[in-house]
Amino acid sequence: MRKALIIGINEYPSNPLNGCVNDALRISHLLEKNEDDSPNFDVKKITKPKRENLNSTIVKKSIKLLFNRGEPEIALFYFSGHGKEDQVEGNKICLPNSHTSEIEEISMQNIYNYAAQSSAREKIIILDCCYSGGFGRHPILGNQTVLDRGISIMSASREDEPSYEVSGKGIFSSLFCDALEGGAADVIGEIKLVNVYAYIDEALGAWDQRPIFKTNVSRFTKIRQTKPYIQKDILRKLTDYFSDPEELFDLDPSFEPDATPSDEKNEKIFKHLQKYRDCRLLEPVGADHMYFAAINNEKCRLTPLGKQYWRLVDKNKI
């Protein structure tokens, strides 16, 4: 079981926002299903304060239920809205009270405590709000970051830094969604949180808001599946074609489809090798293209990425 609580708030009585609800709805859509429409996360959304009678008590209850009801494989919390810097009590997220039109606050430490007490195997907290980099820092411990096991935190900005919207989208959340749509996918289409962060980090420059990633996990779990660049049954043949990751594979003209006489077995192998080449798992030796390597009796070899996938196949991890 995978659970996600997605909160996006635009309707603040003062200083309203524009992109938080759109970001929350887009992330919800992407997390609910994998690219092939298979179910992924069971998502609860909070985006309409007045209709949902929103206040901090209701949100705290929802967060507590996310992390502490059942024993999910992953419990994921996402918040997009206003954040507040607090040097004494620790930074906070801000919520409108739909009954009083006042702004209420929930300390990031309070949210962290719910996650730390959770029996979920993995707890993921994603914050797109100002000063969100302070999440996970303990005021009692001199603002040191000490994460309990199984917790991962990704924030849009540093603890003393605002986060921004552009054209009705949060800069961070927009990149996060692009990553979930496939930008952060590996060769077999799996998206893990660490790859999402790498995707976002690469997209932002030195003068942009700086996302923060903190984690204490022994392994990263897939958070979404997209269309693979290569079928797993073809990928598993890496160890058939290469008995060792350093081995060179001999090519000759019989591998080419136009060879005379034709060799169906070699042609099929060559199609697989071409797919490896397309995925940057393999490269020709002594030629720029696989076609010329075959015609000229050259060789091909695994790239460093190809060697990694060879090891994964060899260890029955794919």
In the prediction, which pLDDT does 145 show?
61
Share of the chain above pLDDT 90, in %: 73
pLDDT digits (tens, 9 = 90+) for 251-267: 999 998 876 777 889 99
Residue 53, H or E segment: none
pLDDT of residue 100: 82
Q: Give the pLDDT band of residue 144 (cuts 50, 70, 90).
A: low
Fold exhibited by the domain 232-314: Arc Repressor Mutant, subunit A (1.10.10)
Which pLDDT score, from 0 to 100, does residue 120 have?
92
Contacts of 180 (CB under 8 A, 6+ apart): 27, 30, 31, 191, 196, 223, 224
Interval 189-212 mean pLDDT: 93
Q: Where in the chain is the domain with CATH 3.40.50.1460?
A: 2-225
Q: Give the pLDDT of residue 159.
A: 84
Q: What is the model's pLDDT at position 207?
A: 84
2-225 carries CATH number 3.40.50.1460 = yes
User: 11-39 pLDDT, tens per residue?
Assistant: 998 889 999 999 999 999 999 999 999 99
Q: Does position 140 have pLDDT exceeding 60, yes or no?
A: no
Burial class (CB in 10 A: 0-12, 13-18, 19+), 315: exposed
Measured CA to CA, the distance from residue 75 to residue 68 in angstroms comes to 9
In this prediction, residues 193-214 reach a mean pLDDT of 92
pLDDT attached to residue 141: 47
Mean pLDDT is lowest, of 84-98, 136-150, 226-240, 293-307, for 136-150
**Any idea of the CA torsion for 63, 74, 23, 102, to the nearest 10 degrees?**
10
Q: What is the pLDDT of residue 137?
A: 67
- Supply the pLDDT for residue 142: 52
Beta strands 137-138; 190-192: pairing state:
unpaired
| CB proximity list for 279: less than 8 A, separation 6 or greater | 187, 229, 230
Lowest mean pLDDT segment, chosen from 166-170, 171-175, 216-220:
166-170
Long-range CB pairs of 276-279, under 8 A, 24+ apart, other chains included:
276/230, 276/238, 276/302, 276/306, 278/229, 278/230, 279/187, 279/229, 279/230
Confidence band of 153 (pLDDT split at 50, 70, 90): very high
Residue 50 pLDDT greater than 70, yes or no: yes
Q: Where in the chain is the domain with CATH 1.10.10?
A: 232-314
Decide: 21 and 8 in contact? Cβ < 8 Å: yes
Q: What is the pLDDT of residues 60-115, one digit of tens each?
A: 999 999 998 888 899 999 999 999 988 777 789 999 988 887 899 999 989 999 99
Listed residue (119, 111, 117, 127) closest to 63, CA to CA: 111
Q: Mean pLDDT for the chain?
A: 91
25 touches 8 (CB < 8 A): yes
* Structure confidence at residue 162 as a pLDDT band (50, 70, 90): confident
User: What's the confidence (pLDDT) of residue 139?
Assistant: 56
Predicted pLDDT at 25: 97
